[in-house]
Structure 1
């Protein structure tokens, strides 16, 4: 069995959809998060550093167009990509005032950009923004996708990490986005200290019954100076071993709908100022070991998927 048969990979999905190799180009905007500035919370999620999620992005003082052109030049040479996704990655992009949001999105429509991906929180999905994005999709001929940071369906854990929302807001966001026909990618952290294998299974089941299109898996990394960094140094929780993380990934894959596209199994993280990153292993080594275990077991995505319609 080849790796591409273990689960539905994002790279193959993009080639099938757009006919060429496609790469994401990160866009970094001058914005923040409502969970940091007091709108719904202070300080953000306990694991979130001041740079948010876009540690590899260009400076947000550079225009959207120039960020994309610069990244496009680099990526096209290095990876031979011909088409691109403008990925509005950092913080809560739909927290911008609507006029600014429209300006930035329209500025991202440059040559060879075939899709715009908007990363945001599930509790900041407003109809006005979705309506505008649908108009862009129809009138400008680019696909729109939404990426929602959920991290876990365990609402007790969400409260512990100060997410500022629960599971119900996520379900509401998914139902409203689906009315517009946009693909939805959900971000999950499979090794949050207060989650166990039951939560992994529930993650898989809830994403499946909601007909989520894509999923992006992360391993928790801990940054010095964050609330979780302080908790880690004070030994207030224990990180699971890498073997258990790999097992969680496999169980998750075996229990999700076989058509959900998997953007990645583990993410890269900044090593600078970090207290814990991927068990001091390279992300690709962990990924390859997951592949090997799945090969040995005859495991594959959806192998144990028997949840919908009481099957």
Structure 2
């Protein structure tokens, strides 16, 4: 296995193909409303990440029904994941979150609830209430944490509003409730190098994350990063370098961590730069081809955990 793709995990875990149904809620972010900051992350646009979402003015049930109506005939899908995707989906009063989460799992074909949020919007009380929903409806819950990088200096540069510590704290808390964890990571931030790529993989492996979602850096129109890009204040890496970073990341990443994706996508009308004007599927296939050709695979260099300096004393080594 070159790497552990999300599709394989879903088929193994649920016995068939499972599709995500994106859901937009009328929420914001503590890094926008003044709680942690006012201008948001430098790369984040006004609509967040939900480019393909239906309007948040629609009810959750309406969004699920509409998305199913599109996906079922096309992919013959029978099972689905409700995905609270846009902005920070645990950043609301707890009773409102419980109401939204409960509505998102009412459909009989929903097998899991995935919730995108920030590391500083996780608490034991919120997790305990979500855990009650998990048990009541017998579903999986995955908390997707936007991290972007383990480099705390880069986190400051993108005005992330939290550090690596909050991410570690959130992961440890989520694991106490037997929920799945996923990290969103940008491998090509302008201030990160290959050492940061490797450290990203090492931290994910050491924390025993369940899933990781990679994407290349988009330059979204009308953002602080777009202004820096237009004024040559930041330099982007080449496509070849990005592919090298993904391959290196995978080599150092524990083989049992699921990759939701190796690269994402954003519509051209919203971006100044996205994926080197190349289809995401083409980039993914080129990464796989390169790894196959050179006998590279996920976890090949994951030899740094569990006291590697002591291995020379192991009589069974």
Q: 1:226 aligns with which of 189, 203, 223?
A: 223
Structure 2 match to 1:21: 17
Give the superposition deviation at 1:204. Answer: 0.3
Give the superposition deviation at 1:310. Answer: 2.3
2:82 maps to 1:92: no
- TM-score normalized by structure 1? 0.98
Give the superposition deviation at 1:273. Answer: 3.3
126-135 vs 40-49, which deviates more?
126-135
Q: How does 1:95-106 map to 2 (within 5 A)?
A: 95-106=91-102
Q: 1:140 aligns with which of 137, 142, 160?
A: 137
Structure 2 unmatched runs, 5+: 309-317
Structure 1 match to 2:52: 56
Distance (Å, rounded) in 2 between the aligned partners of 1:131 and 1:69:
28
2:174 maps to 1:172: no
223-232 vs 124-133, which deviates more?
124-133
Q: 1:263 aligns with which of 240, 260, 265?
A: 260
The Cα offsets for residues 32-91 of structure 1, whole Å up to 9 and x where unpaired, read as 000011111011100000000111100000000110111012111112211000000010
Q: How does 1:213-252 map to 2 (within 5 A)?
A: 213-252=210-249
Structure 1 match to 2:68: 72
The Cα offsets for residues 224-271 of structure 1, whole Å up to 9 and x where unpaired, read as 210000000000011000000000000000001110001100001121
What SS is found at the alignment partner of 2:111? strand
Q: Which runs of 4+ in 1 moved over 4 A?
A: none
What SS is found at the alignment partner of 1:308? coil
Distance (Å, rounded) in 1 between the aligned partners of 2:139 and 2:69:
20
Distance (Å, rounded) in 1 between the aligned partners of 2:74 and 2:28:
31
2:153 maps to 1:153: no
162-171 vs 96-105, which deviates more?
96-105
What SS is found at the alignment partner of 2:201? helix
What SS is found at the alignment partner of 2:170? helix
Structure 1 match to 2:196: 199
2:29 maps to 1:33: yes
What SS is found at the alignment partner of 1:37? coil
